[in-house]
């Protein structure tokens, strides 16, 4: 399996999740502040706003608002706007994501990886809203909407497809546009790079300013559960140690 891997499975429609996030974004600041990451205090869960200096999953210069939902804590901790998705859709969507990730693990054939995945991995979905850019210019001449990074995840899966704008780094160091995708897409994150001592690289990517339109993107991440130490190559690891290692890259 070569990454990013575009599958033949058609992606889920994102409209209901867009409506949920749009509704959340329309609420007063005092309401949204109750769900900031530092208020939820569980891994990366919670809200980050454009220009925020203390977000765990985006830079102040990144041009987006995000809300991370996960199965790492009870659904009722999240805002009402996301309850329908979490209680009706998330379980079945996550099942499809897991099937694809297990297929990827099988193709990698790394001893012990399946055990870590089945016993120590949870899932989160990053809901990303990029407001319209008033002064957007050409694809490569403007500052990115989201700066270069690899994700914290074992794998990143776009189960809702993805619009134009994502640019990824190839093995030769050149960047290529993923283009608009309407099917499931999967690629490795930094956790897989860390577990393989750099043998398998997390996909470095960014989001370019290619249009003046608003942009919505929903990425699923698989990552180690915060409260569950895991063994790798005969050594016990604390998830927080991995999180700190990842965050030290920025």
Q: Per-domain residue ranges for the chain?
A: 5-247
Q: Would you say residue 143 has pLDDT above 80?
A: no
Instruction: Check residue 131 and give its pLDDT.
Output: 92
Instruction: Check residue 248 and give its pLDDT.
Output: 87
pLDDT in tens, 170-185: 999 999 999 999 999 9
Strand-pair category, 215-224 with 155-158: antiparallel
At residue 250 the predicted structure's pLDDT band, cuts being 50, 70 and 90, is confident
Which residue would you say has higher pLDDT here, 136 or 232?
A: 232
Whole-angstrom distance, CA of residue 26 vs CA of residue 6: 34
CB 150 within 8 Å of CB 204: yes
CATH number for region 5-247: 2.60.120.330
Which residue would you say has higher pLDDT here, 228 or 145?
A: 145
Instruction: Check residue 67 and give its pLDDT.
Output: 97
Work out the angle at residue 185's Cα, subtended by the Cα atoms of residues 116 and 249, and round it to the nearest 5 degrees: 60
Q: CA Rg, the chain, in Å?
A: 17
* Cis peptide bond prior to 4, omega within 30° of 0: yes
Instruction: Check residue 139 and give its pLDDT.
Output: 44
| Residue closest to 27 by CA, chosen among 15, 35, 37 | 35
One DSSP character per residue, the chain reads --SSEEEEEEPPP-HHHHHHHHHHHTS-HHHHHTTBHHHH-STT-EEE-TT-SS-SSS-TT---EEEEEESSS-GGGS-GGGHHIIIIIHHHHHHHHHHHHHHHHHHHT-TTHHHHHHHHEEEEEEEEEEPPPTT---TTTS--SEEEE--SSSEEEEBTBB-TTEEEE-TTS-EEE---B-EEEEEE-HHHHHHTTTSSPPPPEEE----SS-EEEEEEEEEE-TT--EEETTEEE-HHHHHHHHHTT-
What's the pTM value of the predicted model, to 2 decimals? 0.93
Section 40-60 average pLDDT: 91
Instruction: Check residue 144 and give its pLDDT.
Output: 87
Q: Which class for 55: exposed (0-12), middle (13-18), buried (19 or more C-beta within 10 A)?
A: buried
Q: Would you say residue 138 has pLDDT above 70?
A: no
Whole-angstrom distance, CA of residue 63 vs CA of residue 131: 7
Instruction: Check residue 211 and give its pLDDT.
Output: 59
Q: How many CB atoms are closer than 10 A to CB 156?
A: 24
Angle at which helices 113-120 and 90-108 cross, to 10° = 160
Q: Would you say residue 140 has pLDDT above 50?
A: no
């Amino acid at each position: 399996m070569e990454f990013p891997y575009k599958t033949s499975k058609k992606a889920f429609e994102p409209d209901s999740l867009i409506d949920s996030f749009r509704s959340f974004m329309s609420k007063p600041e005092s309401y949204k502040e109750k769900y900031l990451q530092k208020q939820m205090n569980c891994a990366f869960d919670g809200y980050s706003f454009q220009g925020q200096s203390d977000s765990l999953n985006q830079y102040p210069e990144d041009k987006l608002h995000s809300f991370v939902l996960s199965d790492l804590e009870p659904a009722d901790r999240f805002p009402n706007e996301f309850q329908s998705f979490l209680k009706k859709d998330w379980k079945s969507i996550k099942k499809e994501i897991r099937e694809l990730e297990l297929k990827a693990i099988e193709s990698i054939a790394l001893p012990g990886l399946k055990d870590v995945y089945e016993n120590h991995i949870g899932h989160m979905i990053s809901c990303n809203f990029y407001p319209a850019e008033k002064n957007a210019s050409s694809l490569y001449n403007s500052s990115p909407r989201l700066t270069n990074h690899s994700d914290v995840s074992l794998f990143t899966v776009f189960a809702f497809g993805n619009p134009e704008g994502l640019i990824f780094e190839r093995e030769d160091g050149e960047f290529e546009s993923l283009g608009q995708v309407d099917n499931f897409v999967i690629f490795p994150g930094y956790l897989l790079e860390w577990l393989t001592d750099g043998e398998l690289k997390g996909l470095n990517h960014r989001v370019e300013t290619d249009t003046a339109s608003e942009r919505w993107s929903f990425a699923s991440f698989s990552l180690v559960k915060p409260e569950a130490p895991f063994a790798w190559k005969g050594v016990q690891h604390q998830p927080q140690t991995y999180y700190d290692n990842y965050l030290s890259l920025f």
